[in-house]
Chain A
Amino acid sequence: MSLVDILALPLLAASALFFLGGTAGLLRFPDTHSRLHALAKADTLGLGLLVLAVALIAGSLSLALKLLVIWLVVMLASSCATYLVARHTLELDERREP
């Protein structure tokens, strides 16, 4: 096992933990807002740690930069999507309980 693997493995394990937590939250939390809150952990930290680990294993700067761009774009898009879903839920709640 190389030094890179020793560095990457804990990152991968931590990433899996965040994805697991995010998924559990998505399935178990009672309402949309708290589910979104749980999902954000998987999107940002989970994917971030995964990207870091894969970039280490890839061992190429251009590949690492591409992975970084993927992480940034996913964060940009998912935070926006989270905001839109949360606002839609808020609107539905207000219509139902005026």
Chain B
Amino acid sequence: MTPGLLFDALLALGLVVVGASALFATTLFKAVVLFIAFGLMMALAWVRLDAPDIALAEAAIGAGLTGALMLDALGHVAGEPAGRRATAASDPDDAPVRAVPRIARLALGAGLGAVVGAVGWAALTFPVPYPGLAAIALDAVAVHPVSNAATVVLLDLRAWDTFLEMLVLLLAALGTLVLKARAIHEPRAIAPALGSEMLDALARRLVPLMLLVAGYLLWAGTARSGGAFPAGAILGAAGVMLFLADIGRDRFADTRGLRIALGSGTAAFLGAGLLSLAGGSAFLDYAPAWTYPTILAIEIVLTLSIGITLALIYGASAREPRSPDPELDAEEAHP
């Protein structure tokens, strides 16, 4: 067994073990932490499968942002009931997993198992070699002005799909805004985190670096791994960092500019599609001379739109941190 194969076997085994541990964790906090670990290992698996674009997206969105959202959600639902809640910060580790009836879990498991089984059976019974779209796609990528295959597929060959994905993201953000406007009552919530000068200092150093990385990923996306989705995810993570450190909260207030940013990703695709229609070709079938500039323009708008949308989805429910406790800090400064 070669070292690479041994590593892959351990990784695959680890994925199954961590996934199962997340599903069967005794507390919600453990489940969330294991889910984040699962996302990071999954990113590693994508790297081993030579899919760095998916690895970037998995690490940034699957592990990072989804993890932050889940931890935040935990703070909203896992506290003590409102009546008994003092100002005390309760430990999320104490929150038990909400019981779901066994019959419902069994039915869900059987249903999902049947779907996975059917997909596996279909994959095994495909004729080999399978006359799929891969050859056509690779031929198109070879002559495309944009050299990164993932970007060509996402923003040109499969642009319809990405357009609708942006619409889904927009709907998610709208749903979050509606929930925020309704100010959903939270009977069980953990007190917000304590503010911290250290977190503030960290955010002020990391966020500029994150903006740099996002810009690099956006630019690299035309030729190498990167593009609007990883770049937007890094932007979103920078937004989460700012929310956590409570920097510039008022800039994320629900303003006209923010709403325009939310819709701009979908609008960019619509605009490009209408232009291609006006040019006499199909919707989102760019004219050859305009393919590169159109894709670059969509990438730039998409990055900003995805970043702001993700930050907003997190920020809609983020609460202001409590002011730092001077006693705790004093105790550490003079032990």
Note all chain A residues with C-beta closer than 8 A to B138.
Answer: none
Note all chain B residues with C-beta closer than 8 A to A76.
Answer: 202, 205-206
With A73-B209, A80-B199, A80-B202 as contacts: A88 and B88 at CB distance below 8 Å = no
Give 23 pairs: A residue, B residue, CB < 8 Å, sorted on A. A73-B209, A76-B202, A77-B202, A77-B206, A80-B198, A80-B199, A80-B202, A83-B196, A83-B198, A84-B196, A84-B198, A84-B199, A87-B194, A87-B328, A87-B332, A90-B332, A91-B89, A91-B194, A91-B328, A92-B89, A92-B91, A95-B88, A95-B89
**Listed residue (B89, B202, B325, B332) with the most chain A CB atoms within 10 angstroms of its CB:** B202
**Pair B332/A88 contact, Cβ less than 8 Å:** no
Decide if B250 is an interface residue (CB 8 Å cutoff): no
Decide if B331 is an interface residue (CB 8 Å cutoff): yes
Alpha-carbon distance A88/B331, docked complex (angstroms)? 13
Alpha-carbon distance A90/B88, docked complex (angstroms)? 12
A residues sitting closer than 8 Å to B (CB atoms) are: 73, 76-77, 80, 83-84, 87-88, 90-92, 94-95
What's the minimum C-beta distance from A58 to chain B, rounded to whole angstroms?
16
The total of Cβ contacts below 8 Å across the A-B interface reads 36
Note all chain A residues with C-beta closer than 8 A to B206.
Answer: 73, 76-77
Alpha-carbon distance A73/B203, docked complex (angstroms)? 12
Dominant secondary structure at the A interface: helix
Note all chain B residues with C-beta closer than 8 A to A83.
Answer: 196, 198
Note all chain B residues with C-beta closer than 8 A to A92.
Answer: 89, 91
Alpha-carbon distance A94/B332, docked complex (angstroms)? 13
Flag B226-261 by CB within 8 Å of A: 1 or 0 each. Answer: 000000000000000000000000000000000000
Alpha-carbon distance A94/B198, docked complex (angstroms)? 21
Q: Which B76-97 residues have C-beta < 8 A from chain A? A: 88-89, 91
- Closest residue of chain A to B329 (Cβ to Cβ) is A87
What's the minimum C-beta distance from A2 to chain B, rounded to whole angstroms?
18
What's the minimum C-beta distance from A37 to chain B, rounded to whole angstroms?
15
**Pair A91/B91 contact, Cβ less than 8 Å:** no
**Pair A88/B198 contact, Cβ less than 8 Å:** no
Alpha-carbon distance A83/B205, docked complex (angstroms)? 17
Flag B204-219 by CB within 8 Å of A: 1 or 0 each. Answer: 0110010000000000
Beyond A80-B198, A87-B329, list 4 extra A-B contacts (CB 8 Å). Answer: A84-B198, A87-B194, A88-B193, A91-B89
